[in-house]
Amino acid sequence: MSIKQFNATYLAPDDRLLFRFNTLEDAEFRFWLTRRVTLFILAATSHLIVKNLEQTHSPEAAKAIADFEKEAVQVSKGGTTGESQNTPNDQYQPGGKYPLGADPLLVMDVKCTLEKQGLEDLLSMDLVLPGGANINLKMAGPTLQAMCVLLNQLREHASWGEVPQVLDVAISGSNTETDTPESNKPLMH
């Protein structure tokens, strides 16, 4: 399953984001993201991106590179607020299939890890759903940055405050192969 587009809308009466994405396979997934979950996603992804860059760069250079990449995506996506898409000139195209149903599901919690798949580093994000089910999203580079820019724009529009900084957490094995046991993978939760 490959993500084609993201779309999110802030709903003030519910103080939530309606986050949805479609895939190249014409499927659409819909979720409710709370303030807590959204801020965690933004903090965890930022932290893991920098920690991953620190494997080959100094901490200061890693932070500068991550900030530059984020800024480049923001400029290319435009600085809109309210309802936003990952491609400003394209209208969001709803999927024709809803594998989890047409009604949005509330994301109860999120777990983020770094994984290595071949030569590419991926952020693996488990969205924990009601009843203990979860859906796993794996994103790299531009897709991950586009999602973060979208969520950050809506965080600002919703006046949800600043993204909390994650204290330096020991991340072990962030350059491990995908066959590494789960206990050795870097985890943000």
Domain that holds residue 117: 3-188
Share of the chain above pLDDT 90, in %: 44
Q: How far is CA 55 from CA 21, 32, 106, 130, 169, in A?
A: 31, 34, 35, 36, 15
The closest alpha carbon to 149, from 44, 40, 74, belongs to: 74
Tens of pLDDT, residue by residue over 107-135, are 999 999 988 887 788 889 999 999 989 99
pTM score of the predicted model: 0.76
Mean pLDDT of 27-35: 96
pLDDT, tens digit, 9 for 90 and up, residues 51-89: 887 888 887 886 787 777 777 766 665 544 344 444 445
Query: How many domains, the chain?
Result: 1
Inform me whether the pLDDT recorded for 186 exceeds 90.
no
Tell me what pLDDT residue 59 has.
78
